[in-house]
Structure 1
C-alpha cells in the first residue's frame, strides 16, 4: 500500500491536470495542487466547474493522472472527497498553496476572499486503491462549453501574406 500511495503522490504532483469523475456527471480535467498528502482543487464562479460532478463531502471520486510530457494515463486512483471548513486551518493552508499556482487570476489581490464566499475548495484524499487502466482509448465527445473558437480568417489575409513574401 505504501508503494501505491507513493506512486499516486509522485504522479499527481508532477501532473498539471487530473481527470476527476465524481458520483455524477462527466469526467473533467481540473488543475490542482498536491498538498499534505492529497490533491486540492478550487471550483465555482470564475474558476473550474465542479457543480455537475457531485463532489460532496464524504463522496468518492475517481482520479486519473496523466503524464505531463506524453499525456498518457499513468494511474487511476480512488479518492475520498473532503470539503474543509472555510477559513479553517486546513482550508487556509490549502488556499495558500492554490493561490501560488492559480494563473491569470482576474482578482489576485482578493482571490482568497472570493474563494471563501463564492467558490469551493476540495481535498481529494487517496484511499490507497488504484483502478486497473483500461486498454481502450476512452475517447469521448467534448463537453459543451461557453468557450468560442476563432472567427473565420479575413478574406484579404491570404493576399496580404503573399505580398509580404515577395518583399522579403
Structure 2
C-alpha cells in the first residue's frame, strides 16, 4: 500500500511540474517493421483534479493521434530541472463532452496555459466546436523506464529553420575579432 501511495504522489508531482508530457496512445497504428512501436508525442497539458488534461485535434492545436475515449495511453514525464525521464505511468483516456461541468473546469485551466492563441477569449468556443479535450487519468500503474535513448528523427514537415548564412556574415564576424 505504501508503494502505491508513493507512486501516486510521484506521478502527480512530476506531471504537475512538467510543461510537457510524452504520450503514446494505444489506438495509434504501429508502423511496419521489426521492433517499431507507435509514436510517442510531446503534448502540453495541465494537471487538474487528479489527471493530465490536454486539448487538440483542431486547427492550430496539437494533434492527439491514438488517444481515444475509453482507451489507454502510456505517459512519460521528464524531470523539470535535468530534463531526463522521471516516471512513466499508464492512463485511462476520457474524452470530455463540450459544455459539461468537467469540460468547463478543464478548459478553464487549459485556457490559462495556452500560449499564442489566435483567438484569445473566443478560444473555449472554438475548442468546443473543433477540438477534443481529454483527461489522462492515472490507473495507478507505473511502467519500467526503458534503458538507452528513445530519440527518433522528427516526422517529415515543410517547416525549416536552416537557411544559408548571409554572404557578408563571415566578414562582419572577422572584423569584430580584429578590433579586440
TM surpasses 0.5: yes
Aligned length: 166
Aligned equivalents of 2:94, 2:108: Cα separation in 1: 17
RMSD of aligned C-alpha atoms?
1.5
| Aligned residues of 2:74 and 2:91 also touching (Cα < 8 A) | yes
1:32 and 2:35 equivalent? no
TM-score (norm. length: structure 1): 0.92
Equivalent residue in structure 1 for 2:18, among 15, 18, 21:
15
What is the deviation of 1:156? 1.4
Structure 1 counterpart of 2:163:
151
| Aligned residues of 2:96 and 2:132 also touching (Cα < 8 A) | no
Aligned pairs (5 A) from 1:110-129: 110-129=122-141
1:43 and 2:46 equivalent? no
TM-score (norm. length: structure 2): 0.86
What is the deviation of 1:49? 1.2
SS at match of 1:125: strand
Structure 1 residue ranges without an equivalent (≥5) = none
Structure 1 counterpart of 2:88:
76
Cα distance 1:146–1:120, how it changes in 2: closer, same or farther (>3 A)? farther
Aligned equivalents of 2:177, 2:21: Cα separation in 1: 44
What is the deviation of 1:124? 0.2
What is the deviation of 1:18? 0.3
SS at match of 1:98: helix
Cα distance 1:139–1:150, how it changes in 2: closer, same or farther (>3 A)? closer
Equivalent residue in structure 1 for 2:70, among 42, 58, 61:
58
SS at match of 2:69: coil
